[in-house]
Each structure stands twice: as C-alpha cells, then as structure tokens.
Amino acid sequence: MNSTTPAPLPQTGGDSSELANQTAHASQTARAGRMVSLDVFRGLTIAGMILVNNPGTWGAIYWPLDHAEWNGWTPTDLIFPFFLFIVGVSMTLSFAARLRRGATRGGLARHAVIRGAAIFATGFFLNAFPHFHMATVRYTGVLQRIGVCYMIAALFVLLTARRADAEGFAASAGAVAAAIAVLLVGYWALMRFVPVPGYGVGNLTPEGNLAAWIDRRVMLGHLWKPMWDPEGFLSTLPAIGTALSGVLVGEWLRSAREQSRKIAGLIGAGAAAMIAGRLLHYIFPINKNLWTSSYVIFTSGFAMILLAACMWIVDAKGWKKWAWPFLVFGSNAIAAFFFATLVAKMSVIYRVHVGGRAITWHGYVYNHFFANLATPKNASMLFAIFFVLLCFLPMWPLYRKRVFIKL
C-alpha cells in the first residue's frame, strides 16, 4: 500500500467549521476534474458493504440487509457489483488524468498489473489472517475479484483504446461493448449448455452448476463453501463485464455533453438495462452467487441510475454538506474495507472471559450493549450501524490530513 499526501488546504478562519472546509475541498476537487458525486457513490457503497457484513447477529436481520438465498436479489446484492462498476468509471477518468500528466500506455499497463496484484494479495492476506493455514485458506474473495477484474479490464481498455497518449485518452466504446457482449453471452452459453459430470446440462443449483464444478476441480478445500464459491474462476468472467460497463459510463461522463444530458442519458440507459436484466431473469436468473449475465445487466443499470442521482444532487444542485461522511469513506474505500474486515475477524477470533466462560469480543459487545436495547432485528441493526461508525473513526483523520491510501 502507498499513500499520497497533498498539500493541506489553507485555513479559512480561526473557528470556521470543518464541514465548511470539507465542502470547499469538494468544490476544488470538482474544478480539478474529479467527480465529487462518484466519490460519494463510492462512499455510500463501501459504507453499505460494511453495514451488511457486520450485523449484531446473523440470526436476526431485516431482509434488505441480507443476501437473496439463491435466485433473485435484495439491496445487499447490489453492493458488490456497484463497487466493480465504480472501478470501471474511475479507471476511465484516472487514465485520462494520468495521461495528461505525462504517463504512457505502457506505464499505465504496468500500474494496472501491479495494482491489481496488490489488491488480490491484500484480499488473500485477509483470508489467511491470523493463522495463515495455507492448506485450508480460501483463495478467492471480494478483493481478489476486484483486483482481477480491474487488471483485466484495464489491460483490455488500454490495448483497444482509440487514443492513449499525451494528446488524450479515448476508450474504444465499440470494443468494450463487444467484450461485454462476448463475456455475458459466452458465460450464459457455458452455464446453460456445457454438461457437468454427475449433474447434467443447465444445472444452476449451488453444487451442480459448471462454475462450481470447475472451482472444485482446481481449488477444492480452498472454497467459501465445501462445494462452491461465489467468487470463483468462471463467474469472474461476467464480473469483468460489470467493470467494463463502468468504463462505458466513464467515457460518457468524459464527453463534452452538457451535464443535464449526461444525467438524463444515465437514467435512460440505466432504466433500459434494468428492464432488460429483469426480462432476462426468465432465461438466466438474476443470481449474485453465480454473477449471472442478467445480474450484470440489471445491477449495472441500477448503478447508472444511482450515479445519476448522486450527480444531480451533489454536482448539479451543489448539495454536498450531507455527503461528507461518504466522501470520507469514498476517498479511502479499500482502506476502510480492509480495516473493517480485519476488525471483524479479530472480534470473532479473540475472546474475553466473562463469568467463567470465554465469549468472542463481538458477542460480548453485542450482548452487553445492544441486545437489550430493542427487538433482536433492531438491536442487530444498531450494532451494524455502530460498526460502520467505528470504521469511520480512523478514516476521518486520514481525510482531514489529505492522506489517501491507495493500492
């Protein structure tokens, strides 16, 4: 990991509020070409990811804060693809900015490989921590998928870009759209028509689908579940399509069109994608664990609409004050996820002795401070909100000091 520390902003007065400073910084950032709304969307996404991953008890969760059991979706199932979508949008904007500063296509490719590998390694470290039992450690995970999708999408975009030099950057929308189509149609064909030994053709059950069979063949004993993994090899292909959909949106946002037209275009395209994804559900069900093609289309459309909403509220209307907590999270998203995962793992591994018995720190905090405050579901949700606030605390001073930890 490395950190960049820009020069501090000038102070505007002795007791002027920190909130005013954050808003001024957001405005400066926007004028420099950075989309404040995208940072807000990223912050909302990472805060949501931390929230749903850390309830007080898994036995008492409101349905929007839990994953769909298999086919279908809940709001929780939108979070991971939103993050990959944002990766694609950010990649496009970042490449353009780096090229303006003198980077080369080859330099960007090296950066993409190194960064993707670093994100993958960070995810692997979190899986292995603290015991590092290599014989049973899970190979895949959220950060691993993000790293792989970022790397492959970035290299493809750089390879096919119509321009990637000191004069500017322009991803090839045609090549990106064609790649998305090949990935989604190809994945559907593989999952529907390739026979799986012992399960037959077109089996989409957790254990009987082609993706699960491949994962068992190459990494049995290193899966999330004994027989399958939601971030396995084959299902990473359509996930790359999610990142590439963000690339297309990034190109749309970089265009010279008026902001109102960009927002309207995102809403129109997003609504069409959601409708298409929902109709395709009857052919290839929306399924987060399989990352089905319909899931990619549906969630990418949803992400477009929410990004358009953030753009209208934050960029167009200038209503930024409410968003500063999400700017804090969005500016150090990977660091926030790393911290949250590390603390969550430590809280269930290490124990405290109470009344002659050992209980996890998670259980101790929940039972002593939250369980009796409300009904089980509300108490569980209150703990999750507390955990989000806990993860916010170390991110806040980093943001104030303009320290942005990047992988």
Q: Tell me the per-residue pLDDT of 207-243, one tens digit each, with 9 for 90 and over.
A: 999 999 999 999 999 999 999 999 999 999 999 999 9
Whether the Cβ atoms of residue 382 and residue 373 lie closer than 8 Å to each other: yes
pTM for this prediction: 0.89
Residue 86 confidence (pLDDT): 97
The phi-psi region of residue 198 (left if phi > 0; otherwise alpha if psi is between -120 and 50; otherwise beta) is left
Q: Residue 3 in 3-state DSSP?
A: strand
d(CA 391, CA 365): 15
Residue 327: which residues within 8 A CB-CB, separation 6 or more?
22, 26, 36, 39, 40, 43, 399
CB atoms within 10 A of CB 72: 14
Weakly modelled stretches of the chain, pLDDT under 50:
1-33
Q: What is the CA radius of gyration of the chain?
A: 22
Residue 34 confidence (pLDDT): 66
Q: How far apart are the first and last CA of the chain?
A: 5
Torsions phi, psi of 16, nearest 5? -65, 145
Q: Residue 406 in 3-state DSSP?
A: strand
Amino acid identity for residue 259 in this structure = Q
Sign of CA dihedral 267, 270, 276, 278: negative
Output the CA–CA distances (angstroms, integers) from residue 266 to 215, 254, 271, 349, in the order listed: 36, 13, 8, 44
Residue 388: which residues within 8 A CB-CB, separation 6 or more?
47, 50, 51, 54
d(CA 171, CA 337): 29
Span 52-62, pLDDT tens digits: 999 999 999 99
Tracing tokens 């804090």 back to the chain, one arrives at 328
Whether the Cβ atoms of residue 386 and residue 371 lie closer than 8 Å to each other: no
Tracing tokens 């059950």 back to the chain, one arrives at 205
* HEC sequence for 180-233: HHHHHHHHHHHHHHCCECCCECCCCCCCCCHHHHHHHHHHCCCCCCCCCCCCCC
